[in-house]
Amino acid sequence: MDIQKVKVLLTKAEIEAKVKELAQMLSRDYSGKNPLFVCVLKGAAVFLCDLIRHMDINLEVDFMAVSSYGNSTTSSGVVRILKDLEYSIEDRHVIIVEDIIDTGLTLDYLRENLLSRRPASLKIVALLDKPERRTVEIEADYRGFCIPDEFVVGYGLDFKENFRNLPDVCVLLEFG
């Protein structure tokens, strides 16, 4: 991992402040509802951990792994579920935890898949949003940052499994 290949877009401090703000909103909106947070692996794992640590309500967590990128920097448009939920979400208040909304194809597929399982409610919290790249209509109900159309890594986001451990969200300057 060559950190000279990245430029900081969002600092650790900026991310932390935004995550706390999102946690406060979610705690307020889901007080007394015992929501199920569905983390989209692998990228959203860091965000989920920080988010729920700042929440003061009862909640549960489950994980899904979906893929539409492979080893590329652009979505293939073909979404595959690599790991499904452990628990039923029927009549549960479900919050999808996503690291970034790009084209929206993966998240739209996931949303439709989960809605077919009849949750009581389904909302989306996303740390990052790239609306310029959207090819389907989908928005986060809780959004951290709107970012420019650049390939970002760090804070759980990767390029070929590298850079996830960076504390900041960074623009990848060189691919390879």
For the annotated catalytic residues, the residue numbers are 102
Q: How far apart are CA 157 and CA 139, in angstroms?
A: 19
Q: How far apart are CA 33 and CA 84, in angstroms?
A: 23
Residue 157 identity (one-letter amino acid): L
Cα angle vertex 122, ends 167, 141, to 5°? 55
Q: How far apart are CA 72 and CA 70, in angstroms?
A: 6
Q: How far apart are CA 157 and CA 169, in angstroms?
A: 8
Q: How far apart are CA 39 and CA 48, in angstroms?
A: 7
Q: How far apart are CA 54 and CA 16, in angstroms?
A: 10
Contact of 101 with 129, CB cutoff 8 Å: yes
